[in-house]
Amino acid sequence: WRVVSDCTTCKVLCNVVLTHLSFPGEMLLRMLRMIILPLVVCSLVSGAASLDASSLGRLGGIAIAYFGLTTLGASALAVALAFIIKPGSGAQTLQSSDLGLEESGSPPVPKETVDSFLDLARNLFPSNLVVAAFRTYATDYREVTHNTSSGNITREKIPIGTEIEGMNILGLVLFALVLGVALKKLGSEGEELIRFFNAFNEATMVLVSWIMWYVPVGIMFLVGSKILEMKDIIVLVTSLGKYIFTSILGHFIHGGIVLPLIYFVFTRKNPFRFLLGLLTPFATAFATCSSSATLPSMMKCIEENNGVDKRISRFILPIGATVNMDGAAIFQCVAA
């Protein structure tokens, strides 16, 4: 009994120490998430209001086409690598507890494709902007069992609309864009409100610059705590070694070869010098695993280190952080 008691006490102490160790990283995530809402809304309003309608439409069209093509290319690359390497072999021996995850009671009900598109449309037009700041619409399912007269049992999956935790960034992005265009359309009457959003945006960027001083400390504790959460790293690496290798290889080819090649073709400049100015956002993305949380540091570095026009960066980056998911496309296609 003493051995069992000591093991239980050790586990409790380890959990307490892990909670304390992850606290500085948690503070970084909280600060980054706190700044996302004013940063996205103000930057998009000021960016859309600073461009004329033709430039806005042309720039938005090019951006959406680029995002779509690069995401499609990333997906195709991941599928090709998955067929060649076959990363699923050996992963059957891995238990969720090895990742520090708790066992779930029942597997989640798979979402229908049509419901995913309908949820996308619903989130583009939130019924309440205040609620959109912290909740997102999502379709859930409830299974109903029917007993037929012939004695057969049929199960029906009924869709149910729910609000889940998480900022509805799509709805906020669309609203901010439309508001910026509307203010530009007002002419002199909208100038005062445009100046307000410009000033608010500049003040937000000052806050971002202050948060950047804390980023190295927060990243160190974030990565350290995530490593300690894994119960057996050796089992993880041996079981998911092919999957990890395939994902990293796909990210390296896409992010280190394909995207720099596209940059060089269109600009005739050294792409790696441009990437060198984005080391802080790369580290933030690696530690937080969140495009939205990386947006503040990305916006600051791309303007100050790489000299990108503020009108371009503050219009494109919030949209890109929302819809351009090349990395997610790679690891999801590899996992499938």
Judged on CB neighbours under 10 Å (0-12, 13-18, 19+), 29 is middle
User: What is the domain partition of the chain in residue ranges?
Assistant: 11-100+172-335
The one-digit pLDDT tens for each residue of the chain (336 residues) are: 343 344 444 454 477 778 888 898 889 889 988 888 898 899 889 888 888 878 888 888 898 899 999 999 999 999 998 888 887 665 555 555 555 555 555 556 667 778 888 888 899 999 888 888 888 888 888 877 766 666 667 777 788 888 888 888 889 989 999 999 899 888 888 889 999 999 998 898 889 889 888 888 888 888 888 777 776 666 666 667 788 888 889 999 999 999 999 999 999 899 999 999 998 888 888 888 788 788 888 888 998 888 888 888 888 888 888 888 888 888 888 876
Determine if the pTM surpasses 0.85: no
39 in Cβ contact with 184 (< 8 Å): no
Pick the CATH number of 11-100+172-335 from 1.10.3860.10, 3.40.50.2300, 3.30.1540.10, 3.60.21.10: 1.10.3860.10
pLDDT at 254: 92
Long-range contacts of 143-150, Cβ-Cβ distance < 8 Å, separation of 24 or more:
143/109
How many angstroms separate the Cα of 277 from the Cα of each of 273, 307, 308?
7, 10, 11
